[in-house]
Chain A
C-alpha cells in the first residue's frame, strides 16, 4: 500500500487529454510539500517530468502539466501520442516518515 494513491491505469486515444490523480494526506501533500511526476518507459529508468507541482524541466513538452490542491495533485497530458505509453509516478516528501514517498504508479495506455 503506497502512501500516495494513484489509479492503476488510465487510457486515451491519440490526440485526447488524460489526467492522472495522486492523493496524499496531511503529512505529505496536505502539509504543503511539493509534488513531482516521473515517466518510466518500458525497460528504462524513471525520468523527471514535472517538479515543484507544475514546473517542467527543459526538454519536456508543454503537453505535460501538473497541478496541486489540498491533499491531491494531478498530471495532465494533452494531445496524447503513442510514445506517451508508459508508467507514471507521483512523488512527494512525507514529514512523518522523514523521507520521500512515491505513488503506486499509473500505467497509461494509448489506444
Chain B
C-alpha cells in the first residue's frame, strides 16, 4: 500500500526556522515526484512546488520561490519542506502528495500525506 506519512504538528514563533518531513513507503520513492501543497485556515489548496527524489530536481511555484526550500533524501525515502524564517502568514496545513502522469499533458496527485499543521504565533 502506498503511504505518505508526515511529521507532527508544529508551533513556532515568528523568525524561527522549521523543516517538516514526508516519508514514503509501499513504492519506489526515488521514481515519483513529490509535491507540496499549502492550505491556509478555511482556504483552498495551493501548489507550492515539487521534487524528484531520484536526482533532487526541484520546481517551485512563483508564489513560493525563495520563501521555502524543498529537498529530499532518497536513502530514507523522505521529502522535506523548510523555512528559514517563519511568519505568522505561514500558519497553515501542509500536505505532501505523490505525482502521477500518463502523458505530457497529464499530472495528478494520487496519494497524499495526512498533513502537517504549522502554527506560527508569538
Are A and B subunits of one complex?
yes
Distance of A47 Cα from B16 Cα, bound (Å): 32
Are A93 and B45 within 8 A (Cβ)? no
Interface size on A, residues (CB 8 A): 28
- Contact residues of A with B, CB < 8 Å? 2, 32-34, 36, 38, 40, 45-48, 51-52, 57, 87, 89, 91-93, 97-105
Interface size on B, residues (CB 8 A): 27
The closest CB in chain B to the CB of A50 belongs to: B108
Q: Which 4 A-B pairs give the minimum distances between C-beta atoms?
A: A36-B108, A105-B44, A45-B112, A51-B108
**A-B pairs with beta carbons under 8 Å apart, 5 shown:** A38-B109, A51-B102, A93-B105, A93-B107, A99-B47
Distance in Å from the Cβ of A51 to the closest Cβ of chain B?
Answer: 4
Distance of A3 Cα from B59 Cα, bound (Å): 18
